[in-house]
Amino acid sequence: MKAVEALNEIAFWLERELAPSFKVKAFRNAAAVIAGMTDDDVAARVRDGRLKRMKGIGSRTYEVIQQASAGDVPEYLQNLRERAEQPLTEGPGTLHSLLRGDLHSHSEWSDGGSPIEVMVQAARLLGREYLALTDHSPNLTIANGLSVERLTEQLTVVDLVNGSAGDAGDQGDGFRLLAGIEVDILEDGTLDQTPEMLDRLDVVVASVHSKLRSESGVMTRRMLGAIEDPHTDVLGHCTGRLVTGSRGTRPESEFDAGRVFAACAANGVAVEINSRPERQDPPDDLIRRALDAGCLFSIDSDAHAPGQLDFLHYGAARAEANGVPPERIVTTWPLERLLEWTGRRR
């Protein structure tokens, strides 16, 4: 196999395992170092020792490149593939097999770690039919949120990935990259992007990212404003909680779940089941309340790296455990039906 492909695949499986970011970056950086070289050039540099001396190539990545250049599947990659044969979650996993796509992902354009094209390659590898690119909006400066100008530029890249502007994006396997955004819900309940730009998108995920400890009435009014905006398709990680991980823990935001979920049901806004292990948001009791309220759901990865796209296993397991029927999950829908739904109020 090609050495650059081996390095990127190793990074993918490490991300899926939640390996430390420095380890993942070592393989992605090494892949970037050799990306512009021909196979013959890589092999020649391996033979004469020049590759080992290149900046960005360490002992482990050199070993992987050496084995791939010799025509072998690198041992390190083979071990990761074998580990990946074990499912991420226990149980039948029936619901996961029904998922067609993912409506929440980030690239290096905001706070993700990889180019759009690499995220797309991973989504296709996992058999997704569609992936929404939902980088952050401008108010979230800490996450390099996209201004109108940058989002306009990104839409051009999305068109290029899909083949051409107006193309259905079918490149043989039917995959489509959807133009989207994770738009910040501002304190007054409005969305942090111009209506004109939101009109141009396929998918809008609306999330609260600031003042998460606001009083319940304040937070409820804020969320209701976003839900009632005709551009909103998905209410992202509704409690904002963190239950584990490097960022520590964070309690749930307080809001009137009855009013919020009733508004979601009335406006056809899907409640996101966020698949990130550190979020597990919403908690089980709120999934059941949203289900009883008649809400739709969207099982999303909230991936910030290619390997994290496979986190859908976690969200699907939680939805299944709480009795969410597949027909109420928009990410089980075929693309045509999904786009009819996202265009329902725009």
Q: Can you give the pTM of this predicted structure?
A: 0.92
Residue 317 neighbours by CB under 8 Å, 6+ apart:
89, 90, 91, 93, 95, 96
Q: Is the pLDDT of residue 192 over 80?
A: yes
pLDDT score, position 169 = 44
Identify whether the C-beta of residue 319 lies closer than 8 Å to the C-beta of residue 287: yes
Q: Look at residue 161 and tell me whether its pLDDT is greater than 70.
A: yes
DSSP secondary structure, 69-133, as one string: HTTSPPHHHHHHHHHHTS-SS-S--TTGGG--EES-B--TTTT-SS-HHHHHHHHHHTT-SEEEE
**Per-residue pLDDT tens digits for 249-270:** 999 999 999 999 999 999 999 9
Give residue limits of the domains in the chain: 3-84, 96-342
* CA dihedral of residues 131, 15, 122, 281 (deg, nearest 10): -20
Q: Where are the alpha helices (DSSP H) in 170-256?
A: 195-199, 216-228
Arithmetic mean of pLDDT, 141-168 = 87
Fold of 96-342: TIM Barrel (3.20.20)
Tokens of 139: 């108010």
* Residue 92 pLDDT greater than 80, yes or no: no
* CB-CB contact of 271 with 244 (8 Å): no
Q: Which DSSP letter does residue 207 get?
A: E
Phi/psi-derived region of residue 93, left when phi > 0, alpha when psi is between -120 and 50, beta in every other case? left
Least confident of 122-126, 169-173, 207-211, 227-231: 169-173
Determine the pLDDT at residue 172: 61
On the question of pLDDT at 63 being above 50, the answer is yes
Q: What is the C-alpha separation between 235 and 223, in angstroms, rounded? A: 9
Q: Could you give the percent of the chain with pLDDT greater than 70?
A: 97
Closest by Cα among 173, 104, 100 to 332? 100
CA distances (Å), origin 264, targets 117, 178, 250, 279: 33, 22, 24, 21
Q: What are 67-81's pLDDT values in tens digits?
A: 999 999 999 999 999
Mean pLDDT is lowest, of 77-91, 119-133, 256-270, for: 77-91
Per-residue pLDDT at 304 exceeds 70:
yes
Task: Output Rg (C-alpha) for the chain, integer angstroms.
Answer: 21
Residue 134 Cα distances to 23, 137, 224, 305, angstroms = 26, 9, 21, 13
User: In terms of DSSP bridges, do strands 234-235 and 270-274 run parallel, antiparallel, or are they unpaired?
Assistant: parallel
User: How far is residue 228's CA from residue 237's CA, in Å, rounded to a whole number?
Assistant: 17
Which pLDDT does position 166 carry in this prediction?
Answer: 45
- For residues 329 and 316, give the distance between their C-alpha atoms in angstroms, rounded to a whole number: 10
